[in-house]
Amino acid sequence: MIKVCKFGGTSMADGNTIRRVAEILRADPARRYVVVSAPGKRFGGDVKVTDLLYAAHTELERTGACGESFRKACERFRSIVSELGLAFEIEELLAETEREIERERSVDFTASRGEYLAARIMAAFLEIPFIDARDVVKFRADGSLDGERTFTLTANALRGKRYAVVSGFYGEGADGKVRTFSRGGSDVSGAIVARAAGADLYENWTDVSGFLAADPRIVDDPERITALSYKELRELSYMGANVLHSDSIFPVREAEIPVLIKNTFRPEDEGTYILPTSKYHFTGKTVTGIAGKQNFTVIHIEKSLMNAEVGFAHRVLGVLLEHNISFEHMPSGIDTMSFVIDSECLKNGVLESLCEDIRKTVRPDGFRVFDDIALIAVVGHGMSRNVGTSAKLFNAIAKAGVNVRMIDQGSSELNIIVGVDNDQYSRTLRAAYEAFFLE
C-alpha cells in the first residue's frame, strides 16, 4: 500500500503544525511520499509566504534587489527551523536563495522558493530524501504540463526511495527556467506524485475535514459528504464548493486513484473520499451535495419554428465565438433558447454589442435579457435511481416562496440546476438542503 500525502499551507505554517504533519506521517507507514506547500497563514491577518514572495518580486523589479517582503519570508523559515530545533544550515540556504532570486529575476522562480525551502526543511526534519520538483515536473513550450515526461521522471526519482519529500507548486519549463502552476497548484503536484508512485490513495491534508453538503455560511451545520465521485466533484467545485478543485487532480483522476481529503488539525475526522466511478458505490443518498453561484446573466431568444430552422444555434454560437464569450448553460425549448453567462464577462458594453449582433444575425421574434440570476446545483448520482427528485426539489422551493427563473437538467441525471433571482439565493439553497438532508 502506497499513500501520497500533500500538505497545504496551513499545515506547514509553523513549527507546531509541522510537528503535527510529522506525527500524521509516522502514524501510518504507508504514507511514503510527501508533497508540501509553502507556509501559509498562522492566524487571521497573517500573510502567506507565497504572497510575501510575490510582493518580493515586485520590490525586486522596482529596486533591483530583494527587500522587506523577502526578509519577512526569510523570517518565517528561520522561526520554523528554530521551533523545530533543527540543526539545519538555514542562513546559508536563505543567502543562496536571495542570490538566485536576484539573478533569475523571474516571478515564477521567486514564488516557487516558498515550496522549495519548505520541502528542504521538511525533508531534514523527517530525515528522508528531498526531490526538487524542478528535476521531475516538466512543462512544454506552450506552458502545458508534459505529463508523460513528468510521470516517468518522477517515477524514476522515487524508485529505490522508501520515503521522500517533493516540493509542490512548480516545475521546469522548456526553456530550463522554473515555472509555477497557477495559485493553489501544489494540489496538482501531489496528484502527479501519486500517479507516478502508482499510489493506492492520494491524501490531501488541509484545514477542513472534507466537503460539506452545502455552504456552511448559508446552511447551519451542514452534513459532511463521506464520499463523492470525480464527476460529482466536478459539478460541485465548478459551482463554488472550493475545498479542492476538480481540475487540480487530473493526474489521479486519469489513473483512477482515489483521493481522501483530511484535516491536519483533526486527523481523527473521517474526511471525504473522492472516487473514480469504477470504485464509487451508491451511498443510498439521492443527493450528494448542493452548491451555487450568483451573478449570472440570461440571454433568452425566441423564434417561431426555431426547431425547424437548420443552423439557428450554429449562428448564435458563432456570435458568441466572435465575442469570445463562453456560456455556462444553454437550456432550450422548441422555439426558445437561453444562454446563461457569467455577468463578469459581459461588463463594459460587451453585453450590448453581443445582443445587437445576435439580433442582427438571427432576427429573433422575442429577445430578453435578465441579470442578477443565481444558479443552484443539486448534485448526485443517486437522482438517476430515485423517482421524484425534481418534484421534491421544486416543491421545497415553491414552499419557500421562491420563483424559479430557469431549470436545467443535464441528460446524465447527475444534477438539476435551478436559476433564481440573486436575492433568493440563500433561501433556495436552504430549502433544497432541507428537502434532501433533513427529511
Chain residues binding ligand ASP by CB under 6 A are: 8-9, 37-38, 48, 50, 114, 168-169, 183-186
State which residue, 189 or 338, has the beta carbon closest to ligand ASP.
Answer: 189
State which residue, 184 or 240, has the beta carbon closest to ligand ASP.
Answer: 184
Cα 354 to Cα 315, 348, 368: the distances in Å are 13, 11, 13
Minimum distance of ligand ASP from residue 48's CB (angstroms): 5
State which residue, 190 or 419, has the beta carbon closest to ligand ASP.
Answer: 190
- The x, y and z cell numbers of residue 204, run together, are 490531501
State which residue, 118 or 227, has the beta carbon closest to ligand ASP.
Answer: 118
Cα 257 to Cα 7, 79, 82: the distances in Å are 18, 37, 37
Distance CA 422, CA 14 (A): 41
Amino acid at 199: A
Helix (H) or strand (E) holding 262: strand 259-263
For strands 406-409 and 259-263, give the pairing.
Answer: unpaired
Count each helix (H run) and each strand (E run) in the chain, helices first.
Answer: 14, 15
Minimum distance of ligand ASP from residue 218's CB (angstroms): 26
User: 121, 119, 159: which is closest to 34 by C-alpha?
Assistant: 119
State which residue, 40 or 419, has the beta carbon closest to ligand ASP.
Answer: 40
State which residue, 244 or 274, has the beta carbon closest to ligand ASP.
Answer: 244
Helix (H) or strand (E) holding 18: helix 15-26
State which residue, 204 or 229, has the beta carbon closest to ligand ASP.
Answer: 204
Minimum distance of ligand ASP from residue 359's CB (angstroms): 43
User: 393, 310, 394, 296: which is closest to 338 by C-alpha?
Assistant: 296
Rg (CA), the chain: 25
State which residue, 168 or 292, has the beta carbon closest to ligand ASP.
Answer: 168
- The beta strands (E) that lie in 308-437 are given as 336-342, 366-379, 406-409, 415-421
User: 116, 155, 135: which is closest to 251 by C-alpha?
Assistant: 155
- The residue number with the shortest CB distance to ligand ASP is 186
Minimum distance of ligand ASP from residue 40's CB (angstroms): 7
User: 113, 249, 131, 238: which is closest to 194 by C-alpha?
Assistant: 249
State which residue, 133 or 298, has the beta carbon closest to ligand ASP.
Answer: 133
Minimum distance of ligand ASP from residue 249's CB (angstroms): 12
State which residue, 2 or 47, has the beta carbon closest to ligand ASP.
Answer: 47
State which residue, 214 or 241, has the beta carbon closest to ligand ASP.
Answer: 241
Distance CA 412, CA 356 (A): 34
Q: Are 204 and 24 in contact (CB under 8 A)?
A: no
- The x, y and z cell numbers of residue 277, run together, are 466511478
- Largest Cα span, the chain: 78
Distance CA 378, CA 214 (A): 10
Minimum distance of ligand ASP from residue 41's CB (angstroms): 10
- The x, y and z cell numbers of residue 270, run together, are 473521517
Minimum distance of ligand ASP from residue 47's CB (angstroms): 11
Cα 431 to Cα 268, 335, 376, 385, 426: the distances in Å are 31, 32, 11, 22, 9
Distance CA 429, CA 435 (A): 10
Minimum distance of ligand ASP from residue 179's CB (angstroms): 13
Sequential DSSP letters for 153-192: HHHHHHTT-SSEEEE-SEEE-TTSSEEE-STTTHHHHHHH
Minimum distance of ligand ASP from residue 50's CB (angstroms): 4
Minimum distance of ligand ASP from residue 167's CB (angstroms): 10
- The x, y and z cell numbers of residue 17, run together, are 503544525
Minimum distance of ligand ASP from residue 119's CB (angstroms): 12
